[in-house]
Amino acid sequence: MTTEMNPLLADLLRLLRLERLEENIFRGESRDIGGPRVFGGQVLGQALTAATYTVDGRDVHSLHAYFLRAGDVKAPIIYEVDRARDGKSFSNRRVVAIQHGRPIFSLTASFQKWEEGLEHQVNMPDVPAPDTLESIAEIEKNVLERLPDEMRRFLTQQRPFEIRPVDPVDLISMKPRKAQRHVWIRSLSQLPEDPDLHRNLLAYISDYQLVGTATLPHAVGFADSNVQIASLDHAMWFHRPFRVDQWLLYTMESPNASGARGLALGRFFTTEGVLVASAAQEGLVRIW
């Protein structure tokens, strides 16, 4: 990890810094990361940023969101924040993301004053350390030439994060496997000391590969032309402090697929085994 800010990471930080148009209305840019629509993690991160701009002295502990329409990467996104409630310990915010006059995304987030309480957590899976694994960029070089153009464009897009899968998926010879994957992730360079920024970035990261876990038992690949995969909703819970510029293990599993939908659950652990956040997502998985 570099000490000087990586340009891709610096651009992502700019993407998450929204322009305030009015007290509760913000505007964000969009980025093309190689897919046909706005990356869901971008809208998650920006919407959480908008909500955070309207809360003082409290940290987000949960969010629940719905993806309503595909986002246009060529147009800005307007975020309208409803200051639903400010209580003694908790604050609640509702955010609607709008493009071309229509809502494309909605989010509800809850914020809490810090306080002590009961403590327990699940154990981190026993997996190899990130330093012993290959970066996903190195793995992809071996298979790019055999993939469709659209899939190749997505995979060759440079990312602001270093990603090291514990159990890489074979993109060419897909075979049924357990609905589970483990991925180490961290930013390419050091980040500012801003807990809100780290939570917003984790929301951005949390959309990466999550719903795709539901396809693993069925040998369904994103490169297949007869498959439609799209996020429908997303939830996150933030448990403990963390830094995105330090390695985090993203563990994902899918307990169910039915009705052309797949459910996936995720957890983030530090290298010391501390559970810092959890995520859940249901997505459309449609086979033509």
> Which residue is catalytic, options 209, 231, 254, 278?
231
Q: Where are the beta strands (DSSP E) in 45-203?
A: 59-67, 77-86, 90-99, 102-112, 161-165, 180-187
Spatial neighbors of 1 by CB under 8 A, at least 6 apart, are: 162, 186, 187, 188, 189, 190, 245
User: Could you tell me if 182 and 205 are in contact, meaning their C-beta atoms sit under 8 angstroms apart?
Assistant: no
In sequence order, what are the beta bridge partners of 268? 250, 277
> Which residue is catalytic, options 46, 99, 209, 281?
281
- Helices H / strands E in the chain, number of each: 5, 12
Cα dihedral 141, 143, 147, 152 in deg (nearest 10) = -20
Q: What would the two tokens of residue 99 be?
A: 């493009």
What is the 3 state secondary structure string of 11-74? HHHHHHCCEEEECCEEEECCCCCCCCCCCHHHHHHHHHHHHHCCCCCCEEEEEEEEECCCCCCC
Is 246 one of the catalytic residues? no
d(CA 282, CA 211): 7
Q: What would the two tokens of residue 94 be?
A: 């509702």
Is 231 one of the catalytic residues? yes
> Which residue is catalytic, options 207, 209, 245, 278?
207
Please report how the helices 40-52 and 7-16 are oriented relative to each other, as an axis angle in degrees rounded to 10.
60
Q: Which residues are catalytic?
A: 207, 231, 281
